[in-house]
Amino acid sequence: MLAFEIITPTTILLCFLGVFIGIIMGAIPGMTATMAIAIFLPLTYVLEMVDSIGLLIGLYVGGISGGLVPAILLNIPGTPSSLCTTFDGYPMTQKGEGEKALKIGITASIIGGFFSLTILYLFAPFLASIAIDFSSVDKFLIIVFALTIIASITKGGLLAGIFSGILGIFISLIGRFPDNNEMRLMPPGLEEQLVYGFSLLPVLIGLFAIGQILQEAEDGMKPATHQKKDLNKPKQGKKFSLKIFNGQYINIIRSSFLGTFIGMLPGVGGSAASITAYSQTKSFSKHPERMGTGEPEGIISSESANNGLIGGALIPLLTLGIPGDSTTAILIGAFLLQGIEIGPLFISSNPDLWSGIIISLVIANIVMFVLMFFSIKYFAKIVFIPKHIIFPIIIIMCVVGSYAINNGVMFDVWTLLIFGLLGYIFPKIGIQIAPFLIGFILGMEAEKYFIDSLKGSGGDLSVFFTQGPIAIVLWILIIGSLAYAIVDNQKSKKNQAST
């Protein structure tokens, strides 16, 4: 097999480690897969590219999967993407079928994972081969589309979402413009530190990890109610068997597909995947009235969808260089660290790395399944680790990571703290983190393609409308996503009015 020429035992070990840590972090409520990857990213600086991919993919798969543990046992989603797992998982725990529910969730996870992996493997090279021919205009419009779709899906209003995205672009423009080496938007006194703008990684870790910790501090770091109560031993209810999955094949495939598809939409996160799949399962179910009372069907749909998301989210990342969700946004940082450019040429010019990603996904999914299936009882205990032990460790890791990322720059630690504070303030004043982040990551690219397009046309703005069929399709998608948001908004307003 060629596989073993690319993947070394170190890669497998790191992947294993990644899954293990990922499950733990996913299982702790308030900590997400995104945070897990952000914290460990600086460590990959010293690793080989394939090894670091193994570690990060492991963290990703583990982090998304670990969320089902507290969702089922405590009615608290460990990560946002396991939100819908609570609907049927917790009622099963109350009936004394906690372990069975966990095992159903784990099995659904691995199926969803493999489904999306297959789609990624088959579809990504094809999409990349189309994307090679994209012009600057097309690339600019893709970024606009990424921003409008994420703004249209996030809750809290279309305008606020777009504003957040553009604000992200604005922040990313601070620094020097590579074309003519001129500085712009400089806060006075920081010219030296901000030549290249804010570093991506401290911004990411700050927004996600430090922001979250400040929020928890405001809430008083109270032990969540679950940490006080003792989890009674699950009564030996009905045991788990694969028979539960009989008659669920369509459900699994539909949910995995929805998860993968939603993952492909740029910037749309795991909770949307799980919610969409769950509501579809409910409307197709033979017993919709029983959903939410402890039906395996619900767990299967939610968990296969959120693991389906992983492969889906990697598709736009690896073919267009546009992250599918905030977690894959951080993966961009990993490639940057190693000096590898992500875009349409990535798969064809790095075939080994591409195979490495696929193989890591396979290994991570298998490890996740084996680890969780056979030692779920021990992982279940993680949810009881008190916050005052975990959070200080996370802060230290964040500071070390930010400092190390550019080989020891203290300004990066201050960046971490500034954006940590922003990550805490933003949600309170209606600015949404996800579009802001996508805007920040894609801002420089957007500018480059915008200027390149105008250079080609001599400043004529109509070039964005008259440039071939791809641009027209993209305009239709952009307008479609905006229209969807407006219609959806009206609908929810009507619903509110009628109740």
Partner 1 sequence: MIPAFFTMNMSFDEYHLIFPRIIISLLIILAVVIVIQKIIKMIRKKEKRSFSFRFFSENYDAMKFYGTLLLLLLYPLALGLIGFLPASILFMFAITVLYAGNFNKKTIIVSISNSLLASIAVWYVFGRLFEITLP
Residues at the contact surface with partner 1, assessed by CB under 8 A:
42-43, 45-46, 159-160, 162-163, 166-167, 169-170, 173, 176-177, 179-180, 182-185, 210, 213-214, 217-221, 386-389, 391-393, 395-397, 399-400, 403-404, 407-408, 410, 413-414, 417, 420-421, 428, 446-447, 450-451, 454-455, 458-462
Provide, rounded to whole angstroms, the least separation between the CB of residue 378 and partner 1: 20
Q: By C-beta, is 224 or 395 nearer to partner 1?
A: 395
- Please identify, using beta-carbon distances, which residue of 170 and 373 lies nearer to partner 1: 170
Q: How many CA atoms lie within 13 A of 106 on its CB side?
A: 27
Strand, coil or helix: 145:
helix
Least distance from C-beta 367 to partner 1, angstroms?
21
Q: Cβ distance 68 to 89 under 8 Å?
A: yes
Which residues lie below 8 Å from residue 392, measured CB to CB, with a gap of 6+? Answer: none
- CB 438 to partner 1: min, Å: 15
Distance CA(167)–CA(156), nearest Å, equals 16
In the complex, minimum distance from the CB of residue 359 to partner 1, in angstroms, rounded to a whole number: 24
- The DSSP element (H or E) to which 184 belongs, if any, is strand 182-184
Least distance in angstroms from the C-beta of 423 to partner 1 = 13
CB 287 within 8 A of CB 310: no
Range list of β-strands (E), 4-152? none
Give 175 or 296: the residue with its C-beta nearer to partner 1: 175
In which element (H, E) is residue 175 found? strand 175-177
Q: Extract the tokens encoding 104.
A: 């159903």
Q: Which is nearer to partner 1, 454 or 482 (CB)?
A: 454
Q: Given the complex with partner 1, which of 179 and 488 has the nearer CB atom?
A: 179
Closest distance between partner 1 and the C-beta of residue 394, in Å? 10
Comparing CB distances to partner 1, the nearer of 166 and 345 is: 166
187 within 8 A of 194, measured Cβ to Cβ: yes
Q: State in angstroms the smallest separation of the CB of 57 from partner 1.
A: 19
Nearest distance in Å: CB 307, partner 1: 29
Q: Between residues 45 and 484, which has the closer beta carbon with respect to partner 1?
A: 45
Whichever of 133 and 460 has its CB closer to partner 1, that residue is 460
DSSP state of 232: P
Alpha helices in 154-210 (DSSP H): 158-173, 200-205
Task: For residue 146, give the amino acid letter.
Answer: A
- DSSP per residue, 394-417: HHHHHHHHHHHHTTS-HHHHHHHH
The tokens describing 397, both together, are 């890791």
Rounded CA separation 130/304 (Å)? 29
